[in-house]
Structure formats: structure tokens, C-alpha cells
């Protein structure tokens, strides 16, 4: 990584402080950081802090005689291997999506011929606004990559998507984009299932569950970052496909199993999806009419068990990992599940802890035939990276 360089554009948002930590992580990894601090950004962090951590000069002005004399802004836009915008404010995204170039940051984004990675950060309503979502689509179509935003409590007191991804997650995305870092899973194929399944009752009604898909998506992303060729078989979620991962969208458990089998042979399978245990015995072709009276019952039949099928199949991946969401007797249930399903490891999480389902953190225990390892509570992205790391050790 020693020769790699990042041009880091720090926009104006409360999350700008996280970019200082990001700068520190990058420098520690030997990546060069040349910072651009927007005027709004300088309301949140100082050029002095940024410059000290980056060990480089901070650029701020488009029409600065000294900056232009030292390095013209066109040169600046091309001096790095990757341009990172963190925080990417609604304003910076709008400017970049529309090709505006009224200041140094936006001019750099327009003039660069290098890949661009944005870490959006803004109020949830601003993020969800049609204009921002439109700009997001335009930027994606223009080839810009994104990390985050995360969902959670915001500095403005609201809750929802809009928080900037944590520095460690942005750092991983940068390392992946720079093509650096060790690739211990290069040449290995992995299947990851994620999200809920949807089982039709009739053309408009369904049985489903509250899985957000976050943990599975993070695992797919972490495996890809270590060089694995990942197929992410996903039920409906609100998440973007992680960079470098092939996503196959499915709805029912049966479709999910078929998509997994189509992705075989594989070296690794990680079943994170919350698969519906049962589905309606018959899915009406027509919408069931009210007819003044509720149906007495909806008859259910069992769904295939994807984890067990993959574990016990002829083309079994070398390493098969299941998840167990438990509310009590975590260890005993996880061990029993290991034996019943025939998989190698179970990652057990206690979903009785408030905020685990759909939240950003997870406290898990890794259950293998050798014993139980408890991991401290951490972000789902960190659980994913640690698991991917453990997986790579199996392939040494």
C-alpha cells in the first residue's frame, strides 16, 4: 500500500470528525492522504488537525495562487489512485451528480479520471428526499461507489439512514477499491444467503419476517474484500449490492435454494438469510376475496432447509456456516443446530438483546466442533470482517 494515494474530500457535516480517524487508519496502513477541506467542512474540523494526521498540506481554495502554483487543481484531481468523499454531503452529491464545478471539491470531482468512493452523511429526511435519491442513482450510473450510509441515531436527534459509515468500514472499502490488502480467498467461491424470504399467500399478500439483510450483506462484502468470488442470494431488502459481489434476487425459500444450487460448486457457504420455515400450502392465483368472512386458517407446509440441504448435499462446500438467532439457551441450541444441520460452524446471536434485529451491532458466539468463542459486541461490519478472517484461515 506504500505507493497508494487517496485524495480525501472532507465535506461539511458533523461526521467530518470521523474523517480524522479515517485519515489516521489510512496513514497507519501506509496509504498517502492528500486532503481537500471544503469551506463547510472547515466549520467542523480544522485544516490543522487534518493536515497533521494526513502529514500533507490541506487544499481548500479553487483560486488560490499558492495552491495553483504548487499543484494546479487538474493535477490535484489526478494525483491520487482514488478520490474519497467523506462525509459526502447532500450538497456535494448534488454538485457531483450535476457536474457543477464552483469550488475546489466539486471541480476536482468533475476533473478527475480516477475512481470515486463516497461515504454519504446527512439528515435522514435529506437522504430520503427524492432529489438525493435521484442524485444517488445518477452517481451510481456514472460509476461512483458508495459505502454507507448507516442507519441509527443521528446528531440531529432523528433516527434512520443517513449516518456516515464508521471509519473502519470506509477504510475497508478504500482498501478494496485500491486493490490492496491480502487476498487469502482469491480463487475461492462463496455463496452467502441474506435477508428475509417472502412466501406468497395470494398475488398481493405474503408471509415474511423482519430480517434487514445487513449482516449477510456485510459478510458478502467482507469475503469479496478478501478476494473471494461471492454470489449473494438475497431476499428483498433495502440495501445496495456490495461492490464486487454478484447479487441474485429471490423471494421464496424455494427460489433461494434453487439460486444457491445454481451457484454451486462453491468452497464456502454462509447461510445468513432468515428463511421462512413454512409457506402457505397453496398460493392462490387470484386475490382471496373478503366475502364478509375471514378464512378459518391458512394451511402451511414446511419449506426446504437451505443450510441443511447445502450441508448434506453431494456438492457440499468445504466450509458451511449457519446462523442461529436465539432468545435463550444460546449455547445449547447452537450446538444442537450444528449437529442437526450438518454444518461446520454456527454463528449464534442473541436476538433478545434490543436492537439486534435490524440494528447495526451484533453480539455473537462462534460455535464450532472445537468449542464456543464469544465475541464482544461490535458493528455488524466488524463481525463480518472477523468472520471472513476466520474463514480465510481455513483455506491457508
Cell numbers at 38, concatenated: 471544503
Place of cell 435519491: 133
Alpha carbon 391 to its chain centroid, in Å, reads 18
Residue 156 among the catalytic residues = yes
Contact map string, positions 184 to 213, toward ligand C5P, x by CB under 6 A: ---------x--------------------
Residue 316 in the binding site for ligand C5P (CB under 6 A): no
Piece of 116-124, 201-209, 305-313, 354-362 that binds ligand C5P (CB under 6 A) = 305-313
Output the CA torsion 258→325→337→214 (10° steps). Answer: 40
Shortest Cβ 302–ligand C5P spacing (Å): 8
**Positions in 75-94 near ligand C5P (CB under 6 A):** none
With beta carbons less than 8 A apart as the criterion, state whether 53 and 20 touch: yes
Cα–Cα distances in angstroms (integers) from residue 79 to residues 26, 112, 152, in the given order: 17, 9, 35
Neighbour-count burial of 7, counting CB atoms closer than 10 A to its CB (0-12 exposed, 13-18 middle, 19+ buried) = buried
Out of 316, 337, 380, 385, name the contact with ligand C5P by CB under 6 A: 337
Among 92, 307, 364, 366, binds ligand C5P (CB under 6 A): 307
The three cell numbers locating residue 327: 432468545
* Cα dihedral across residues 214, 218, 224, 229: positive or negative: negative
CB of 355 to ligand C5P, least distance (A): 20
Site track for ligand C5P across 271-290, x = CB under 6 A: xxx-x-x-------------
Nearer Cβ to ligand C5P (115/236):
236
Using CB under 6 A, pick the residue from 324, 334, 338, 379 that binds ligand C5P.
Answer: 324
Residue closest to 354 by CA, chosen among 344, 346, 362:
362
Stretch in the footprint of ligand C5P (CB under 6 A) among 45-53, 73-81, 120-128, 319-327: 319-327
Q: How would you write 306-355 as a 3-class SS string? A: HHHHHHHCCCCCCEEEEEEEECCCHHHHHHHHHHHHCCCEEEEEECCCCC
Q: Which of 253, 338, 364, 387 binds ligand C5P (CB under 6 A)?
A: 253
Q: Does 322 bind ligand C5P (CB under 6 A)?
A: yes
The residue among 226, 214, 313, 221 whose CA lies nearest residue 261 is 313
Q: Would you state the cell numbers that stand for residue 92, as one nine-digit string? A: 456535494
Instruction: Candidates 49-57, 106-114, 184-192, 301-309: pick the segment binding ligand C5P (CB under 6 A).
Output: 301-309
* SS3 state at 151: strand
**Least distance from ligand C5P to the Cβ atom of residue 395, Å:** 20
Contacts of 40 (CB under 8 A, 6+ apart): 11, 12, 13, 89, 91
Cβ atoms of 179 and 244 within 8 Å: the answer is no
Neighbours of 96 (CB within 10 A): 25
The maximal CA–CA distance of the chain, rounded, in angstroms, is 80
Annotated catalytic residue, options 156, 260, 271, 343: 156
Taking contact as CB under 6 A, which single stretch among the options 74-82, 102-110, 321-329, 351-359 is the one that binds ligand C5P? 321-329
Beta carbon nearer to ligand C5P, 145 or 211: 211
Total residues contacting ligand C5P by CB under 6 A comes to: 15
Q: Which is nearer to ligand C5P, 221 or 252 (CB)?
A: 252
For residue 320, list its beta bridge partners: 269
Shortest gap between Cβ of 280 and ligand C5P (angstroms)?
A: 15
Which of these segments, 18-26, 138-146, 286-294, 316-324, binds ligand C5P (CB under 6 A)? 316-324
Does 44 participate in binding ligand C5P (rule CB under 6 A)? no
Please list the active-site residues. Answer: 156
Summarize as ranges the residues that interact with ligand C5P (CB under 6 A). 193, 253, 271-273, 275, 277, 303, 305-307, 322-324, 337
Amino acid at each position: 500500500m506504500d505507493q497508494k494515494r487517496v485524495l480525501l474530500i472532507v465535506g461539511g457535516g458533523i461526521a467530518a470528525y470521523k474523517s480524522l480517524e479515517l485519515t489516521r487508519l489510512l496513514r497507519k496502513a501506509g496509504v498517502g492522504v492528500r486532503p481537500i477541506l471544503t469551506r463547510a467542512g472547515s466549520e467542523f474540523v480544522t485544516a490543522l488537525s487534518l493536515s497533521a494526521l494526513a502529514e500533507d498540506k490541506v487544499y481548500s481554495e479553487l483560486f488560490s495562487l499558492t495552491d495553483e502554483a504548487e499543484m494546479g487543481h487538474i493535477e490535484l484531481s489526478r494525483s491520487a489512485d482514488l478520490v474519497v468523499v467523506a462525509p459526502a454531503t447532500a450538497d456535494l452529491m448534488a454538485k457531483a451528480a450535476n457536474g457543477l464545478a464552483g469550488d475546489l471539491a466539486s471541480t476536482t470531482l468533475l476533473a478527475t479520471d480516477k475512481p470515486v468512493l463516497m461515504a454519504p452523511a446527512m439528515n435522514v429526511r435529506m437522504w430520503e428526499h427524492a432529489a438525493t435519491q435521484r442524485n444517488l442513482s445518477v452517481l451510481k450510473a456514472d460509476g461512483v461507489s458508495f459505502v454507507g450510509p448507516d442507519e441509527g441515531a443521528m446528531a440531529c436527534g432523528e433516527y434512520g439512514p443517513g449516518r456516515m459509515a464508521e471509519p473502519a468500514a470506509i477504510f475497508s472499502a478504500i482498501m478494496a477499491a485500491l486493490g490492496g490488502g491480502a487476498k487469502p480467498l482469491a480463487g475461492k467461491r462463496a455463496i452467502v444467503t441474506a435477508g428475509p424470504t417472502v412466501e406468497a399467500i395470494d398475488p398481493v399478500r405474503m408471509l415474511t419476517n423482519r430480517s434487514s439483510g445487513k449482516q449477510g450483506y456485510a459478510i458478502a462484502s467482507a469475503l469479496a474484500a478478501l478476494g473471494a468470488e461471492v454470489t449473494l442470494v438475497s431476499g428483498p431488502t433495502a440495501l445496495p449490492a456490495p461492490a464486487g459481489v454478484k447479487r441474485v434476487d429471490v423471494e421464496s425459500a424455494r427460489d433461494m435454494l434453487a439460486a444457491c444450487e445454481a451457484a454451486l460448486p462453491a468452497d464456502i457457504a454462509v447461510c445468513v438469510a432468515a428463511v421462512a420455515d413454512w409457506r402457505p400450502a397453496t398460493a392462490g392465483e387470484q386475490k382471496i376475496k373478503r366475502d364478509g368472512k375471514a378464512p378459518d386458517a391458512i394451511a402451511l407446509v414446511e419449506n426446504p432447509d437451505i443450510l441443511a440441504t447445502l450441508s448434506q448435499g453431494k456438492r457440499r462446500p468445504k466450509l458451511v456456516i449457519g446462523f442461529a438467532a436465539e432468545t435463550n439457551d444460546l449455547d445449547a441450541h447452537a450446538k444442537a443446530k450444528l449437529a442437526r444441520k450438518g454444518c461446520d460452524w454456527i454463528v449464534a446471536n442473541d436476538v433478545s438483546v434490543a436492537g439486534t434485529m435490524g440494528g447495526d451491532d451484533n453480539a455473537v458466539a462462534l460455535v464450532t466442533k472445537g468449542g464456543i468463542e464469544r465475541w464482544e459486541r461490535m458493528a455488524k461490519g466488524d463481525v463480518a470482517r472477523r468472520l471472513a478472517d476466520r474463514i480465510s484461515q481455513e483455506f491457508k
